[in-house]
Structure 1
Amino acid sequence: MKDKKWMLSLTLGLVLVAALGFWGYRQADARRTMEAALNNKYQRAFYDLTTHVQNMEVLLSKTLVGQETRQDTFLLMNLWQEADAAQKELGQIPVPDGLMTRTMKYLTQVGDYANTLAKQTIDGKPKTDEQWRTLRYLYSQSSGLNEELHNIESHVADGRLTLSELTTQTRKGLRKEGPQLANNNLQTLDKKMQQFPTLIYDGPFSDHLADKKPLGITGDSINADQARSKALGFIDRRGNKDYVANVVHTQKGRTPSYQVDITSCPVRENERITAAISRQGGNVLWMLNSRAIGDKKVSLESAGDRAAKFLAGKGFKNMQSTYHEVQDRLAIYNFAATQGGVVLYPDLVKVSVALDTGQVVGFEASNYWDSHRDRKISAPRLTLAQARKKLSPHLEGVSGGRLALIPLSPDTETLTYEFKGNLGKDVFLVYINADNGREERLLRVVDTEEGVLTV
């Protein structure tokens, strides 16, 4: 009898332990799920913060170079909005109120100052020298804080810093160990507010033709067999292999086209070539060879020459290389058409060259076919010297001055003088209207190991 009671007690005890264990596991699992959700929320706020601060730094730099009040109004209003958005995202990150006081104050000052100056420029009043110096000070603060925010971002990315843990550190460690944690975490951010750059590559002008009827697509309609022949004649062939092509899809939309798949004979592993051929005129809109790219053996200079020769061989005449980038053993070059010595930035073509063999494995000409035609370009009313005088006196080392046609809207193009200049270590492109001297565009140039980019 005693043995039965003992066994019953043991069984009940084991059941209770198992139940407690299962409950504990469920609680721990629920806690992990909640922590993961919180961490995702905080990470999203952090990454959005860095994006807004990045945009602030770029806009501040442009206000220093810009000379037109109309351009200043646009830049300052955007700066105000970015600063306000950055404040909201910073408020979502779980740190003590006192820890980020200076950072929040900085964001507030930038936003308020931008709002004040925007109202001034709306009335046509240019920036004074004192206001320019204030903007220069705010800019130097933002650009000087780049390294710390990037450092924090890298810690978050590789798991060394989990933002959800700050909810407990806020109450425990951060106040007690503030100086120590400042070396690696968010207290340093309060001293240095920064942004890691999201560099926009695609040439300086590219996203301007979303709904415009293609102007370069002319001629008679072609059939599927003709589309196959066009595609086979366009690809960059290597070796003695033959290729076969099949039309696999017809695309409607703004530029109706045939999608053509091309394979080698015998079939090369992991290689597939796809091209889009316009139904009107039989123009190659884009081409992509998806083969694996081996180790780099071709220099960027040789790859650029190969891209230029490929374009010329396919009938693209009077093209000028503008910008390039490198993406994992793939060099991508932008070319703009020229007419009478004027660079036509709306007419862009992109050529991708594999750096193992120099083969052209990518081609994209949507912008070119959207815009290209013979234009009537009037002679500029301003001389180069007159246009140069319209530049900000704060811009240093000014060079260039070539004529360039740039898009202002889907239906508007403007002839400008393109100048290059420096503000400290930063390089800018400034586009001055060749007829009235108005500053039309400001672009910041970033020269990296991956290529020349613009923001």
Structure 2
Amino acid sequence: MTVSKRFAARAIALTVAVVAVLGVKAGIYHSKAKDYEESLKYSYTSAIEDLSQSADSINSTLEKELYAGTPLMHSKLSAQLMNYASNAKATLTQLPIESMGLSNTYKFLSQVGSFSQAMSEKLARGEKLTDDEYKNLKALHDYSQSLSDTLWELNDRVNSGQTLILPDDEKKGAELIGDSSEIKDYENSFENYPKLIYDGPFSDNILEKESSLLKSLPEVDEDTAKQKCIMTLGINAKDIPNTSTESGKMPSYRFYDDNGGVCCAITKQGGLVSYFLKSRRVNSTDITNDQAIGYAEKFLETLGMVDMESTYYEVYDNVCTINFACVKNDIIMYTDLVKVQVDMSDGGIIGYDARGYIVNHREREKGNGVISPMRAAKEISPVLEQGSHRLCFIPTQGGREVLCYEFECTSDSGRKVLVYINAKTAAEEQILMITENSSGVLTI
């Protein structure tokens, strides 16, 4: 059989056209990849510079704290420090914390403002700082100085293009800053970091709190934990080829993929899902907030967590983060918290954190000496209109918990206010104001 010259010419033309189209597509994909690479580089570079500036502010404010002589000045400086530390933590989340090994840095930023505030409140009560507390302030200042120097060195190297490793490298898509010896040295320096025990939410006695829930549960092996992870996330074993362990007060198996897209921790005691995260870009909101809460509730039911009540939620970047609290015997326990993140484009569960629940959950009783709701209501401001009330356990800054009556009130301007009255002493423990808008329901 012979092939005509006309047919051969057409075949050649078609082949050339296909190759041309493929070449154009390849060029487009390459261009998009390049744009993404540049965007990622700018994002990381900007975050490191902002973090460096925050570290500078923390360093100078801590030094001023060492020189402050009055409670009023300590109060002003601690407020500034809380703000700088909060900004630094927010910036830090823009970087691959796990890949860069910044866990100690994150803890430092969590503690520095909280510790300063606790010292300020102590002085305001007329007490004096001890020698050990001054030593701890000095140690925090030294670490902040080291952090500032480290970050500026890294900033200079990133700006020169020496250390940024991008998605197409040998790390198989890992979006991370390069192998920085400065960061490693700084993280390793925390070997002599002081143990900070104070009346605040990031005190070491709280961060190292053991779970009474896990103590009574049997230990599971790695294979059993991995099966729990696979079932919970609805994925295949090949999707999480890597395994590591987490130590501390909640020893866990950690399963993750090669590019930081999925990670999940399962406790060694009991095989409970501690947390998981599915990193993805969510580009739209196609479900309502109520629907998102419904998806989260159904997910918790699959884990056997049926005594949970949604409290507050927030929608940000098309992801709804919902807080759930445990309810037993008509008492809501704000200490036993679970956070669930829902993809607002399809209702998928992309984030879960039950560490607060696992650490705090246990059987509780009201105990004796509980005052009546009428007695508690007498402590509420007369400018508030009282509504419904319920019993609850709320956390204190020092890691304890208090049984309170929660009163839902309304101000004359229509503002919703929650007032917490100690159910045994009638002390006014806390006041929260509710903010409601299209992005969620939050308290301040």
TM-score (norm 1): 0.52
d(CA) in 2 for partners of 1:317, 1:375? 17
Give the match for residue 212 of structure 1. 209
Question: Per the alignment, do residues 248 and 392 of structure 1 end up closer, same or farther by CA in structure 2, a change over 3 Å counting?
Answer: same
Give the match for residue 129 of structure 2. none
Question: Per the alignment, do residues 207 and 321 of structure 1 end up closer, same or farther by CA in structure 2, a change over 3 Å counting?
Answer: farther
Higher relative contact order (CA 8 A, sep 6+): 1
Q: Per the alignment, in what secondary structure is the counterpart of residue 305 of structure 1?
A: helix
Query: 1:257, CA displacement in angstroms?
Result: 0.9
Query: 1:309, CA displacement in angstroms?
Result: 1.1
d(CA) in 2 for partners of 1:389, 1:285? 41
Alignment of 1:159-178 (within 5 A): none
Alignment of 1:33-182 (within 5 A): 81-82=75-76
Q: 1:450 is matched with which residue: 423, 439, 442? A: 439
Moved more, 382-391 or 217-226: 217-226
2:408 partner amino acid? K
Alignment of 1:289-304 (within 5 A): 289-304=278-293
Segments ≥4 residues shifted beyond 3 Å: 77-80, 82-86, 205-209, 241-247, 422-427
Aligned residues: 266
1:279 partner amino acid? K
Give the match for residue 175 of structure 1. none
d(CA) in 1 for partners of 2:359, 2:224? 22
The 8 Å contact of residues 319 and 335 in structure 1, kept in 2 or not, is answered as: yes
Give the match for residue 324 of structure 2. 335
2:430 partner amino acid? R
d(CA) in 1 for partners of 2:260, 2:245? 22
Unaligned 5+ segments in structure 2 are 1-49, 59-70, 84-119, 127-199
The 8 Å contact of residues 224 and 247 in structure 1, kept in 2 or not, is answered as: no
The 8 Å contact of residues 240 and 262 in structure 2, kept in 1 or not, is answered as: no
Give the match for residue 228 of structure 1. 226
Give the match for residue 391 of structure 2. 403
Alignment of 1:300-379 (within 5 A): 300-378=289-367
d(CA) in 2 for partners of 1:295, 1:84? 40
Query: 1:419, CA displacement in angstroms?
Result: 1.5
The 8 Å contact of residues 208 and 248 in structure 2, kept in 1 or not, is answered as: no
The 8 Å contact of residues 419 and 429 in structure 1, kept in 2 or not, is answered as: yes
The 8 Å contact of residues 404 and 417 in structure 1, kept in 2 or not, is answered as: yes
Query: 1:352, CA displacement in angstroms?
Result: 0.5
RMSD in angstroms over aligned alpha carbons? Answer: 3.7
Give the share of equivalent positions with the same residue, in percent. Answer: 29
Unaligned 5+ segments in structure 1 are 1-39, 49-76, 90-114, 123-204, 264-269
Q: Per the alignment, in what secondary structure is the counterpart of residue 371 of structure 2?
A: coil
- Is 1:254 the counterpart of 2:249? The answer is yes
Deviations 1:32-84 (A, max 9, x none): xxxxxxxx9xx98xx99xxxxxxxxxxxxxxxxxxxxxxxxxxxx78982399
The 8 Å contact of residues 293 and 355 in structure 1, kept in 2 or not, is answered as: yes
The 8 Å contact of residues 407 and 413 in structure 1, kept in 2 or not, is answered as: yes
Q: Per the alignment, in what secondary structure is the counterpart of residue 405 of structure 1?
A: strand
Q: Per the alignment, in what secondary structure is the counterpart of residue 398 of structure 1?
A: strand
d(CA) in 1 for partners of 2:309, 2:78? 41
d(CA) in 2 for partners of 1:449, 1:324? 11
